Amino acid sequence: MKARSKRLMLVGGGVALLVAAVALVLSAFQQNLVFFHTPTEIAEGKAPTGKTFRVGGMVEEGSIAREPDGVTVRFAITDTAKVIPVTYKGTLPDLFKEGKGAVVQGKLENGVFRATEVLAKHDENYMPPEAAHAVEQAQKAATTLSQ
């Protein structure tokens, strides 16, 4: 029984040490584990400048506009606090819509984000179209009432 509890302590201690080590490594590499930065982080200067990185947030309502050339798209990514204007040439994913989440990859040049890749980020809500429509109506009603 004594040998058994000794082994239990060894195994338990080993696992505890390992968890601590992993926690340390993860907190050290926190920056690299982040898939995208928010517009607020960029405004605070936390995003890398001069190299490619990703910005994530919501596509601002009414911001999508096509350039006359037909391929360039302009829109804005917002986290409701700050806004980043984006330009992009290429095809957009089906789920890319105003008011929905998106992650864009590219470089920041003179305050405008030149995107080379656009990904749509959907949320964890799954509902039938009728329910989504009802939610939308309710939200509209709420905003009209509050105005």
Could you list the residues that contact another protein (CB under 8 A)? 4, 7-8, 11, 14-15, 18-19, 22, 26, 30, 33-38, 56, 92-96, 100, 103, 117-133
Q: Of 44 and 117, which has the nearer Cβ to another protein? A: 117
Strands 83-89 and 101-109: unpaired
Q: Of 4 and 51, which has the nearer Cβ to another protein? A: 4
Nearest approach, Cβ of residue 40 and another protein (Å): 12
Query: What region does 99 belong to: left with phi over 0, alpha with psi -120 to 50, or beta?
Result: left
Single-letter residue type at 51: K
Please report, in angstroms and rounded to a whole number, the separation of the first and last CA atoms in the chain: 72
Contact 39, 78 (CB under 8 A): yes
Q: How many CB atoms lie within 10 A of CB 78?
A: 18
Q: Of 81 and 110, which has the nearer Cβ to another protein? A: 81
DSSP structural state of residue 93: P
- Rounded CA gap, 65 and 86, in Å? 11
Nearest approach, Cβ of residue 126 and another protein (Å): 4
Nearest approach, Cβ of residue 2 and another protein (Å): 13
Q: Of 27 and 146, which has the nearer Cβ to another protein? A: 27
Q: Phi, psi (5° rounding) for residue 60?
A: -65, 140
Q: Of 20 and 142, which has the nearer Cβ to another protein? A: 20
Nearest approach, Cβ of residue 147 and another protein (Å): 26
Nearest approach, Cβ of residue 76 and another protein (Å): 18
